Amino acid sequence: MISLPRVSPKPYLLLLLAALALLAAYGSSVSTRAYVAAQTCRAEAAFNRAQVDTALVKPLVQGYCPPEETPTETATATPTETATATATETATETATATETATATATAAETATEAATATATATETATEAATATATATETATETQIDPACTFSIEAGDVGALIAAITTANGSSTPDIICLTPGSTYVLTSVTAQASGLPLISSPIAIWGFNATILRDAGAPEMRLLYVSAAGSLTLRDLALRGGSVRGDGGAVYNDGGGLVISASLLSGHTAGGGGAIYNSGSLSIAGSTLTDNNVGQGAGGVLLNRGGSVNISASTLSRNRAGNGGALYNLDGSVTLNGVFITSNMASASGGGLYTTGRSGATISSSVIIGNSALSGGGLYNASAQTSISASNISSNSASVDGAAISTTTLLSAGANCIVDNRAPGGIVTNSASGTLNLENNWWGAASGPESGAFIGSVDFTPFLTASAAACG
């Protein structure tokens, strides 16, 4: 992610209109990728507001993405020079996009010496691929960076450690801002097998496209540890190269709160949860988690043990594990919306994800493609509360059974695109005692699933006779 510049609001309106026109041209739900791109900013703000103390979140999302629930904001800025500039700008833009992508924009601007801004945005998309957006925005050219409690010079790990230590001693939220595009190299363990101090209070680290990484010659260590008393927000930051024999190569969340947005977690190794171990509250939005590895452990990216997980508009790719190539969920709740789970591998079960225990996974508008395992190339399910809807589960493979899905408990799945999955033991394997309900899915042909597609009792009729919107 690039750092956020000082800008006028008007280009954002034009970008919004262009995004809506593309959404209409390619289909509101036909293209999951278009949906993900259009929703990233809004999803980030929503998840941040839901998971972190309001006092900490407000400066993080204000000025970057208009909050959905409070789309009208007023801001006034006075420059550091003695001069005061005030401007009032009103822009109303309406765009109606169909498959021919037609847009109409009307803008009226007024400027005076005072500085005021108002933003309102509404979107509507139909299956006929028609989108209408109305936006009215007034904003000052105020600095959109957060109010930094600490600003860390490029590469100064000592100052970063000192800032976290000081912030831990405060009960109020703190924002630590890194130098844009800089790299912070961790060379020694500070606490809890981590290169940085334990997080025990509300802290946000804004990276501005900076990187925190473990030096290749450093002792084994993860990068960050969040205690049950702490909450950590990471934004616009890359975390690389953590390595531990235990769980959580990048971040270990021990019952606290963890929010990750617009970030990259890559190249971590651990015994479980290659990038993240979570037993608390975790939300991820607009981020990429790739090339993490736990060997024969569980959860190439994430090991969730009894925690709550929300992932939106993010990509989990090329991760490896014994079970749950990207994600392993044990007795926790997982919600995935607009998530790409691609090219992950499990040497045992659940090439894309593995869920087991009391809760389960709710998967919607997501893509599970090109994953592989012995059993359950896309998904291995042993949870009673798992559901999959409006998602694309395609081109997964299993060397034994359940190329797309292998389940030992009954789950629900509808309006999905389930095509081109390959395994000797069929596309879907049901080991549960009851009948698995897979009605109203698209199987790649108007005649329904091919012969031998199922092992176990599966009810697949009625089925869709035309390609599902989720196929893209």
pLDDT per residue as tens digits for the range 166-201: 999 998 999 999 999 999 999 999 999 999 999 999
In a domain? residue 4: no
The rounded distance, in Å, linking the Cα atoms of 90 and 106 is 11
> Tokens 């389940």 — which residue?
407
- Mean pLDDT throughout 454-461? 97
- Mean pLDDT throughout 423-434? 95
The number of folded domains in the chain is 3
Distance of CA 268 to the CA centre of its chain: 18
Q: Which of 177, 212, 243 corresponds to the end of one domain?
A: 243
464 pLDDT above the threshold of 90: yes
Domain co-membership, 191 together with 84:
no
pTM of the model: 0.73
**Between residues 75 and 372, the one the model is more confident about:** 372
Domain co-membership, 447 together with 317:
yes
210 pLDDT above the threshold of 70: yes
pLDDT value at residue 45 = 43
Average pLDDT over the chain reads 78
CA atoms 188, 189, 193, 199: torsion sign: negative
**Between residues 38 and 190, the one the model is more confident about:** 190
SS3 (DSSP) at 123: strand
Q: Which domain holds residue 157?
A: 146-243
Q: How confident is the model at residue 145 (pLDDT cuts 50, 70, 90)?
A: low
By the 8 A CB rule, do 397 and 421 touch?
yes
**Between residues 269 and 21, the one the model is more confident about:** 269
Q: How confident is the model at residue 30 (pLDDT cuts 50, 70, 90)?
A: very low
- Mean pLDDT throughout 260-281? 98
Domain co-membership, 175 together with 35:
no
The alpha carbon torsion through 335, 455, 326, 56 (nearest 10 deg) reads: 0
Q: How confident is the model at residue 146 (pLDDT cuts 50, 70, 90)?
A: confident
Domain co-membership, 270 together with 158:
no
- Mean pLDDT throughout 266-270? 98
